[in-house]
Structure 1
Amino acid sequence: MENIKEKSYNVNNEMSKRKEAGMETFELVILETSDIHGNILPINYGTNKAAAVGLAKISTLVKTERARQKHVLLLDNGDLIQGTPLTYYYARTDSKAPNPMVRAANALQYDAAVPGNHEFNYGQELLMGVVKESHFPWLSANILNEQTRKPYFGRPYTMKVFAEGLKVAILGLTTPYIPNWEQTQHIRGMLFADPVETAKRWVKFLREREQADIVIVSYHGGFERDLDSGEPTEDLTGENQGYQLCREVPGIDVLLTGHQHRMIAGKAINGVTVMQPGNNGRALGKVVLQLEKQEGHWRCAQKRSELLPVEAAKADPSIIALARPYEEATQAWLDQPIGKIEGDMLVHDPMEARLKDHPLIEFMNRVQMDAAEADISCTALFDNQSPGFPENVTMRDIVSNYIYPNTFKVVRITGMDMKAALERSASYFKTDSGGNIEVNPAFSNPKPQHYNYDMWEGIDYVIDISKPVGKRIVKLEYKGKPIDPAAEYEVVMNNYRAGGGGDYLMFKGKPVVKDVQIDAPELIANYILERKVIRATVDHNWKVIF
């Protein structure tokens, strides 16, 4: 947890002194969730065991805070509606029913939400249904209607006015990097403007025209620089601009962030209190503002922030009851038998699976190649929790290994592009002082990015990590001949990668030969159902040496 303390105050004593002096005071509590990713219940769907996650536990914490405090705002920072088998099953089989995530959020009585990048994964029809069903506004000042240039979701901000006359503005912003990841039809008609320039205009408007006493910016994005030193922690692509918002936009009191799944509290940048509460509902972010009235206007005297973990919280029975019918249908679907694996397709060691050809990765690539009728493919082991496939495969096993609703594209690239992509993947590794292989910190901090290391089928290659980054591909062949840098090759990859996601900008804008519009989990299930028995095989077409 990144819990670097702000200057501490004896808040109660300070406010007591002000009250005794006859000064009017006010305490405002801001609660934040972010990157809930479809987690309502405290369960790990891969293992079907209890886990310290989800809105049911968050609800208990929220109720406790509301019982203690008179003035509480509850805000969601995005990536709410996608990420678990429950939300996938709902989106693909029962999306005419009320959305389970919205039902839970309505029950928690959120004041506002911001669309994150994964809000778009299931398409515009489902997303706009979510907006319509919500009892709270969805805010994004920088996602615009391409024609009118007005906020696409209608509301760039919301204003909360309290009986004491305090005016609190909440401005929503979303990372503009979404077009690099999302399927074109899911964001058709939308324009993603720069959050910093957008914030400069709107924060000034909120301060000067709306006379807001407090301005909260809820930004579905993270920090591109070290919070202490200001040194860049990633390529400054525009995916994360939280540090820039704090430094360049005057008038922000609190910046709520997300997207990177970090645990950040007790930290301020340029006087702006910043917060990020992790992912999956592991913690609730809490910011407390101590306000006092000066010359007829409310001013912030003190600020503090903390993270409230959910481990010790009991799940709210009302939220569990609300989710029960969705959960029962999901569990029945997850336990459906699909087929059998002959041989070993389990992931015993995720690092080993990335150092040499593995049966699970070869299988995933074969599925993509079959669906797209392509003879070159690339895919990834998305995280270190991917278990692989047991002998008897169910839908649970499929969604435990392929955790995104990706579709696939066949992209025409040059040999030079292929080499550049492989070099990007090869930068995933580093060696320590003893010569042992480790993950390059750029792929693990501030957010794990194992999904950005690709493994290929249909070509033969060798990665030598004793070589400098950018010069590690020491063999690259197609059908027994060296890859021609100027020649063109057709490669199937997921839609995220085809858009340049993960800093694979060599793929961005390349011709799309074929678009496979079937989600990966469904594609994998169909492949196994059709064949009934799958042999775990490897052809050893690639390896890592050092």
Structure 2
Amino acid sequence: MKKSEKIAIDVITTSDMHSYFLNGDYSSNIYRAGTYVKKVREENDHVILLDSGGSLAGSLAAFYYAIVAPYKRHPMIKLMNAMQYDASGISPNEFKFGLSFFSRAVSLSRFPWLSANIEYKRTREPYFSTPYTIKEIEGVKIAIVGLTSDGLMEREHFEMEKDVQIEKTLLSSKRWIRFIHETEKPEFLIVIYHGGLNQLNKSANEHEQNVNEAEKLMQTLGVIDLLITGHQHQTFIGRNDKTVYVQAGQNAEQLIHVKIDFKKRTTSYELEDIQSQIIDLNEYQEDEDLLDLTFYDRKTVEHWSKEVLTTTDIDAKVGGLTDVITKPHKFTQLLHDSIRLAYDYDISCIHLPISGEKGLSGTITNEELYNAHPHPDIPIDLTIKGQQIKDILEYCYGHIEFSQGELSLTIVDETLCTFWQGIDYIIDMNKKPFNRVTLNNIRLDHMYRVSMTDYCYRNYRQYLEDAVIHETGEITMVELISRNLKNQEYQIQQKQTFEVII
């Protein structure tokens, strides 16, 4: 090499792709991204393709390949392998379908999944092999290390806790980045952090502040050249002193292209320039080779999504949050009836599957059921105290206010609204928050066997620390609901007993 030789390296990053590999009405941006990546590779041999995580959950197609056909090779892994990704970060969403599902996806990937702070519980070693990878391009050594927001991991699949632990992001990053600099001596350090930037938050929610720690990483470590963030589904580029930080939105609607120029010195390399830009993929055609690769995968999902589950019309439409939290409702009754297919106890607890719930009505297909309940929640068989039941109800109705009979304030995530059956309870909204619930047939100091969704358990663990878990189900709520809808003899019969005084 000549003394003044320059080396240009292109780093392309995507984020939160959520397995949106269906095309047409379902979006096809991953195929457009493939076209752009090919174009850049034709112009420069030195390309590093990265993803910040969140590619395996969050869409109808992702649900199909994780729950309905988990034995098939995941099309998203096919696409990422074909596009020659160099590494991916790890999002908490990767664990949404369980540890074994994600582990299988990792084993089929021809690129590493990186997270320094997801560890074996016993040994505290990185769970997914090495937490970093080294790319050496014409003598320039580039280190890529992965981190996952420990705050985001708090409410994910609790069953993996016997094998996996999540170390604090900042603590882990200090240890590993110091190790990388001392042992690898890279010319350039890239950190893939699946967490966000607080400056992109539109709310002052304390939990969100705790899970988006990108600024803390830059301020505390001070040795990051490029920080790739995720989770917030926004597209953003910025600079903090010497650190360039980027976020590439979601679903491959856009991507970030970072151009890095090095100049060779006698025995070293000098970072000469780094520029980042947002790429709008609407200007690019779909990659035909990638479309051919997933042709049958897409057709399979499309066929399944249109399958009709019901023989008669269903009347379980939800007309807004007030419709379900003020009185018993057919949609929540359907959820109670479905969880009882797994554990048929007198008391059951379910939650609203999504915010802005619309329920189900008319003829129901797999796609419509997924839209109403898009999460792979499973039932849990557990024993809890009457006081814990009251505490959970108080939390929800303590964060809701009514004015002149109308819902006026909701500062609780709607999916944390719980509904109980087998309990006769009254909620008086005229009383002070956290003192509104009266349980008529439950004693606070007695123990009760309950069936509950794992989502309720994970999000109300602060009230369920001494709960006894007997068993966790293997069949998701969506599958249980589907069984009821397919049953020609099934009819929704209201059995809930609660009253809300406004």
Letter in 1 for 2:452: M
Distance 2:312 2:493 in 1: 7
Distance 2:201 2:95 in 1: 33
In structure 2, what is the equivalent of residue 212 of structure 1? 186
Residues 431 and 247 (structure 1), Cα distance of their counterparts in 2 relative to 1, 3 Å cut: farther
**Alignment partner of 1:496 is 2:455:** yes
**Alignment partner of 1:175 is 2:149:** yes
Contact 2:17–2:251, Cα closer than 8 Å, also in 1? yes
Contact 1:497–1:507, Cα closer than 8 Å, also in 2? no
In structure 2, what is the equivalent of residue 541 of structure 1? 498
In structure 2, what is the equivalent of residue 15 of structure 1? none
C-alpha deviations, 1:288-312, integer Å up to 9, x for none? Answer: 4454556754444554544434445
In the TM superposition, what are the counterparts of 1:471-510 in structure 2 within 5 Å? 471-479=433-441, 484-499=443-458, 501=459, 504-508=461-465, 510=467
Residues 514 and 295 (structure 1), Cα distance of their counterparts in 2 relative to 1, 3 Å cut: same
Distance 1:114 1:537 in 2: 46
Tell me the secondary structure at the aligned position of residue 541 of structure 1: strand
The one of 511, 516, 535 aligned to 2:468? 511
Give RMSD over aligned pairs. Answer: 3.6
Tell me the secondary structure at the aligned position of residue 339 of structure 1: coil
Contact 1:77–1:113, Cα closer than 8 Å, also in 2? yes
Contact 1:61–1:284, Cα closer than 8 Å, also in 2? no
Residues 450 and 214 (structure 1), Cα distance of their counterparts in 2 relative to 1, 3 Å cut: farther
Distance 1:384 1:497 in 2: 15
Distance 2:241 2:391 in 1: 38
Displacement after TM superposition at 1:270 (Å): 6.0
**Alignment partner of 1:98 is 2:69:** no
Residues 96 and 411 (structure 1), Cα distance of their counterparts in 2 relative to 1, 3 Å cut: closer
Tell me the secondary structure at the aligned position of residue 235 of structure 1: helix
C-alpha deviations, 1:62-120, integer Å up to 9, x for none? Answer: 33444555533211222222333333333345444432111111111101112322323
The one of 206, 220, 243 aligned to 2:215? 243
The one of 56, 65, 72 aligned to 1:81? 56
Residues 383 and 27 (structure 1), Cα distance of their counterparts in 2 relative to 1, 3 Å cut: farther
Tell me the secondary structure at the aligned position of residue 505 of structure 1: helix
Displacement after TM superposition at 1:228 (Å): 9.4
C-alpha deviations, 1:477-505, integer Å up to 9, x for none? Answer: 243xxx54433344432223313x3x652
Distance 2:244 2:61 in 1: 34
C-alpha deviations, 1:249-270, integer Å up to 9, x for none? Answer: 23112222223x3304123456
Give unpaired runs (5+ residues) of structure 2.
none
In structure 2, what is the equivalent of residue 146 of structure 1? 121
C-alpha deviations, 1:36-76, integer Å up to 9, x for none? Answer: 22211235xxxxxx144652233234334445555332112
**Alignment partner of 1:363 is 2:319:** no
**Alignment partner of 1:31 is 2:6:** no
Residues 53 and 429 (structure 1), Cα distance of their counterparts in 2 relative to 1, 3 Å cut: farther
Displacement after TM superposition at 1:125 (Å): 4.0
Tell me the secondary structure at the aligned position of residue 462 of structure 2: coil
Residues 170 and 102 (structure 1), Cα distance of their counterparts in 2 relative to 1, 3 Å cut: same
Distance 1:228 1:342 in 2: 42
Tell me the secondary structure at the aligned position of residue 181 of structure 1: coil
Contact 1:35–1:278, Cα closer than 8 Å, also in 2? yes
In structure 1, what is the equivalent of residue 107 of structure 2? 132
Displacement after TM superposition at 1:325 (Å): 1.3
Distance 2:399 2:44 in 1: 47
In structure 1, what is the equivalent of residue 303 of structure 2? 332
In structure 2, what is the equivalent of residue 193 of structure 1? 167
In structure 1, what is the equivalent of residue 385 of structure 2? 414
**Alignment partner of 1:451 is 2:408:** no
Displacement after TM superposition at 1:142 (Å): 1.9
Displacement after TM superposition at 1:430 (Å): 6.3
**Alignment partner of 1:520 is 2:477:** yes
Contact 1:170–1:215, Cα closer than 8 Å, also in 2? yes
Letter in 2 for 1:496: Y
**Alignment partner of 1:399 is 2:370:** yes
Distance 1:427 1:516 in 2: 30
In structure 2, what is the equivalent of residue 40 of structure 1? 21
**Alignment partner of 1:155 is 2:130:** yes
Distance 1:517 1:133 in 2: 23
The one of 88, 91, 114 aligned to 1:116? 91
Residues 506 and 347 (structure 1), Cα distance of their counterparts in 2 relative to 1, 3 Å cut: same
Displacement after TM superposition at 1:29 (Å): 3.2
Contact 1:247–1:270, Cα closer than 8 Å, also in 2? no
Distance 2:129 2:63 in 1: 27
Distance 1:497 1:516 in 2: 14
Contact 1:226–1:232, Cα closer than 8 Å, also in 2? no
Residues 369 and 317 (structure 1), Cα distance of their counterparts in 2 relative to 1, 3 Å cut: same
C-alpha deviations, 1:293-351, integer Å up to 9, x for none? Answer: 56754444554544434445433232222222122222332333322455621234456
Contact 1:200–1:250, Cα closer than 8 Å, also in 2? no
Residues 437 and 236 (structure 1), Cα distance of their counterparts in 2 relative to 1, 3 Å cut: closer
Tell me the secondary structure at the aligned position of residue 90 of structure 1: helix
Contact 1:52–1:311, Cα closer than 8 Å, also in 2? no
Residues 528 and 212 (structure 1), Cα distance of their counterparts in 2 relative to 1, 3 Å cut: same
Displacement after TM superposition at 1:532 (Å): 4.1
Distance 1:198 1:94 in 2: 36
Distance 1:488 1:54 in 2: 52
Displacement after TM superposition at 1:159 (Å): 0.8
Count of paired positions? 498
Distance 2:468 2:80 in 1: 41
Q: State the percentage of identical aligned residues.
A: 24
Residues 90 and 226 (structure 1), Cα distance of their counterparts in 2 relative to 1, 3 Å cut: closer
Distance 2:237 2:54 in 1: 23
Residues 372 and 278 (structure 1), Cα distance of their counterparts in 2 relative to 1, 3 Å cut: farther
Displacement after TM superposition at 1:160 (Å): 0.9
Residues 122 and 543 (structure 1), Cα distance of their counterparts in 2 relative to 1, 3 Å cut: same
Displacement after TM superposition at 1:139 (Å): 1.7
